[in-house]
Structure 1
Amino acid sequence: MLPLRPPHGYTVPSDFTQLAERVWSVAHQKLGALIERHPDRFPLYTTDGAWSVDGEAWTNWCEGFLGGQLWLLADRAEPAHRASFRAAAEHYSALIEERKTDDTVHDLGFLFWSTWRRWFEATGDPSKNDVLITAGRTTASRFREVGGYMPSFRQPDSLFIDIMMNIHMALYAAQQTGDTALAHAAITHCLTTRRYLMRGDGSASHEAMFDLETGAFLAQTTQQGYSDTGSWARGQAWALYGFGTVYRFTGDRRFLSTARAAADFYIERTGDRFVPPNDWEEPSPTRPFESSAAAAAAGGMWQLAGLVDDPTGATFYADYAIGILRRLAGPEFLATAEEQWEGILKHGSYHEGKNLGVDESVMWGDYWFLDSVDLVQRYAESTAGS
């Protein structure tokens, strides 16, 4: 796997440290309150700013994001509190271990890469890596040779762009075990996704439908975008981040070019607003922002900045990633430690069509926001004084 390289020679703005400190202070307060108020629960979204612990869920995919945030705070909280956040991170990770063999969903990367991967990296304990490998094998077990894809949780003829953020679990398992069948399934899935979900302008469709008997592609559709021909912003973020991650595992430049095209589309359509609506094709959307898409896009842009060959492109994507984080860390999006709003990042959406968690905090938005801030901050710290 290619390392997560920072953009060569890039200088993070000097005031980013202050931005990060403000973010971690809010995260400390909000997450500490959440696990105290709702122990062993995994809410997906807020309702009027309060975590909806029994809110309706479309599928079972979010339990890794709370543990992932706790792992980040185990490094970023005030030193006196790091041990307690570390214990909580381990506890919430352990609570989801049984999901490693759950073959009913396509989302095991969301669960385990944010939690057990961090646990393994922190300890080097082979038993933690075994959990990751099992989850990767489970991911690959959903592969359909007819059609060449891993279906979404929804039904076997459905392929989601979301799976690009989970497919690396199978690639990781292949890397760790030398199982070439796992790698074949994962790469074939990515090529199928590239062909049938990515469009010529770099935009991503949410869903593709296939004939179950022949594997023939039938149509692009959507479950969460404005229309079947629309451009769902969070799916766009999944594409630019996911194809970049797959390039890191495979070195196949087709995936790098796809990630870059997806990033360019996001930037072209969003510009200096940095935070997109739920779907760019929706005319005059009543809700102008989907902050969780921006949070994931920031991490994908930062990753891409370290993967492209040209320094100008690297600087371009790194600058845009930091631009997104600046916007999200501003008063319009970042809750304050003092206010009653229980999430970290406002103006996110879960599912607009089902009216679930709309214009609220969503757990994955909070996670990717913190993760992206941490990535940039680690690079800034590594180059300080150089």
Structure 2
Amino acid sequence: MGVLHKALFSLFALILVSQAGFAQKATAIPVEQVLALAEKQYTGYFSQYPDSTKYPRSSKEDGTILLTSSRNWTSGFFAGNLWYMARLTNKESWRRRAAAWTETLEAEKNTTSTHDLGFIINNSFGQGYALTQNPKYKEVVLQASATLGRRFNPTVGAIRSWDFAPFTYPVIVDNLMNLEMLLSAAKLGGDTTLARIAKTHANTDLKYRFRKDHSTFHVLDFDPATGKLRKQMTHQGIADNSCWARGQAWAIYGYTMLYRFTGNKQYLTAAQNAADYFIKQTNRIPDHIPYWDFNDPAIPNSPRDASAAAVAASGLLELSKYAKSPKKYYGSATAMLSSLCTPQYLAAAGTNNFFLLKHSTGNKPSKSEIDVPLVYADYYFLEALWRHKNYTTLALQ
């Protein structure tokens, strides 16, 4: 064997060893053990809270469970959790339970007072349709998408988020997540106007969402009459110039999803830039689970946000499918998932009001839901586990 051939052979062997090691690390997430725990938790939940018109959200200050009505923006996540249990276990019993907590949400398909119909309907009926192809579920998604489209202002070029003061026409980073339902509806044969609305919203968001260092503003407030940007600010972060961790995670996930539907490389670049910032911040933390705001001066004596880690991990796993250098994103996702699967963050069976993850932060400035379980943390955690289980080999291509 010549010198060049020996060198090439050695390089090839090194690559194989490196990839094998990466694959071993990537598959170290204890998916089956987490599923066994989740089955115990949710079975315990059903035994105490069988009413499928009430939806778990979090824990109250007194330690009791917080249940909501279907109108709450978090109502669709529990059904989504159950659909992911059905995917991950392939058990008909979880499909039946998912259907029960999905179908009680149908009335919200006509609700015009919220921008969060994607969270409510797409995470329940949309997930259900993907798994069952039930035509009724498709109809609900299409109707909810048409309803959400009514909150679009063509002058601003975006869907309005909140309807309350002090905001004039707020567009929050979270709203990127609701675009998935519109794009799904267009793909399912709905009005193609819905896809145009989603893309226009994304393009408007992209103009103003990011700072030069690729961190995100939480809220963009516009003048609805002129479409002019009034202010870049926060509502759930510590300050207007800070980076709220879950907001950054929404941006990673949202722009990755937008690239999946559109193939627009500007969205892919935005997702990668947002991810690079998030990874840089969490690499400074031994367990990679972010503090609620990356700029909180109280760090390290500051609340963590497991929900931000779960959202980011799920988004990063999908991003690894599209990025030219997937290992960075896949490796960061598995680092966060590994920590979320430890007793520090994963609750023991029968505890934590039957939620899976501990130590999330909802809205610290409002002194609301600090260091508690959150149903959407569990949703994106289960989604990340499902993606990990299905994307492992893709990370090495």
Output the TM-score relative to the length of structure 2. Answer: 0.86
User: In percent, how many aligned pairs have the same letter?
Assistant: 31
AA aligned opposite 1:189: H
**8 Å contact kept, 2:142–2:190:** no
User: Is the aligned partner of 1:13 residue 2:5?
Assistant: no
SS in 2 for 1:358: strand
Match of 2:132 in 1: 123
**8 Å contact kept, 1:49–1:341:** no
Match of 1:5 in 2: none
Residues in 2 aligned to 1:18 and 1:295: alpha-carbon distance in whole angstroms: 14
Match of 1:67 in 2: 79
AA aligned opposite 2:298: S
Match of 1:279 in 2: 293
AA aligned opposite 1:31: Y
Match of 1:31 in 2: 42
Alpha-carbon offset, residue 206 of structure 1: 0.7
**8 Å contact kept, 2:251–2:271:** yes
User: Is the aligned partner of 1:47 residue 2:47?
Assistant: no
Q: Quick check: 320-329 or 128-137, which moved more?
A: 128-137
Q: Quick check: 169-178 or 242-251, which moved more?
A: 169-178
Q: Quick check: 103-112 or 120-129, which moved more?
A: 120-129
Structure 2 counterparts to residues 198-237 of structure 1, below 5 A: 198-237=210-249
Alpha-carbon offset, residue 118 of structure 1: 2.3
Structure 2 counterparts to residues 293-312 of structure 1, below 5 A: 293-308=308-323, 310=324
Q: Deviations over 1:6-25 (max 9, x none)?
A: xxx89643683661122112
Match of 2:384 in 1: 372
Match of 2:95 in 1: 86
AA aligned opposite 1:289: R
Match of 2:270 in 1: 258
**8 Å contact kept, 2:29–2:337:** no
Match of 1:132 in 2: 141
AA aligned opposite 1:350: G
Match of 1:95 in 2: 104
Alpha-carbon offset, residue 64 of structure 1: 1.1
Residues in 2 aligned to 1:326 and 1:106: alpha-carbon distance in whole angstroms: 33
Alpha-carbon offset, residue 56 of structure 1: 11
In structure 1, stretches of 5+ residues that fail to align are 1-8
**8 Å contact kept, 1:142–1:150:** yes
Q: Deviations over 1:216-251 (max 9, x none)?
A: 101111110000111011111110100110111111
**8 Å contact kept, 2:221–2:230:** yes
Residues in 2 aligned to 1:228 and 1:55: alpha-carbon distance in whole angstroms: 30
Match of 1:352 in 2: 364
Alpha-carbon offset, residue 50 of structure 1: 4.7
Match of 2:304 in 1: 289
**8 Å contact kept, 1:25–1:337:** no
User: Is the aligned partner of 1:145 residue 2:145?
Assistant: no
Alpha-carbon offset, residue 53 of structure 1: 2.7
Residues in 1 aligned to 2:190 and 2:119: alpha-carbon distance in whole angstroms: 23
**8 Å contact kept, 1:50–1:343:** no
SS in 1 for 2:24: coil
Task: Check 1:83–1:128 CA distance in 2 against 1; reply closer, same or farther (3 A cut).
Answer: same
Residues in 2 aligned to 1:348 and 1:205: alpha-carbon distance in whole angstroms: 20
Task: Check 1:316–1:129 CA distance in 2 against 1; reply closer, same or farther (3 A cut).
Answer: same
**8 Å contact kept, 1:164–1:242:** yes
Residues in 2 aligned to 1:293 and 1:158: alpha-carbon distance in whole angstroms: 22
SS in 2 for 1:119: helix
SS in 1 for 2:30: helix
Q: Quick check: 342-351 or 154-163, which moved more?
A: 154-163
In structure 2, stretches of 5+ residues that fail to align are 1-18
Q: Deviations over 1:324-359 (max 9, x none)?
A: 100111121111225465321111011112222210
Q: Quick check: 97-106 or 282-291, which moved more?
A: 282-291
Residues in 1 aligned to 2:64 and 2:219: alpha-carbon distance in whole angstroms: 29
**8 Å contact kept, 2:153–2:159:** yes
Task: Check 1:34–1:49 CA distance in 2 against 1; reply closer, same or farther (3 A cut).
Answer: farther
Query: Taking CA–CA contacts closer than 8 Å with sequence separation of 6 or more, which of the two structures ends up with the larger relative contact order?
Result: 1
Alpha-carbon offset, residue 379 of structure 1: 3.3
User: Is the aligned partner of 1:174 residue 2:186?
Assistant: yes
Task: Check 1:111–1:341 CA distance in 2 against 1; reply closer, same or farther (3 A cut).
Answer: closer
Q: Deviations over 1:99-150 (max 9, x none)?
A: 1121211112212222212221222222221211222222222110121111
AA aligned opposite 1:37: Q
Match of 1:109 among 115, 118, 121: 118
Alpha-carbon offset, residue 180 of structure 1: 3.4
AA aligned opposite 2:110: T
How many residues align? The count is 368
SS in 1 for 2:220: strand
Larger-Rg structure: 2
Output the TM-score relative to the length of structure 1. Answer: 0.89
**8 Å contact kept, 2:352–2:358:** no
Q: Deviations over 1:6-49 (max 9, x none)?
A: xxx89643683661122112211212222221222212112369
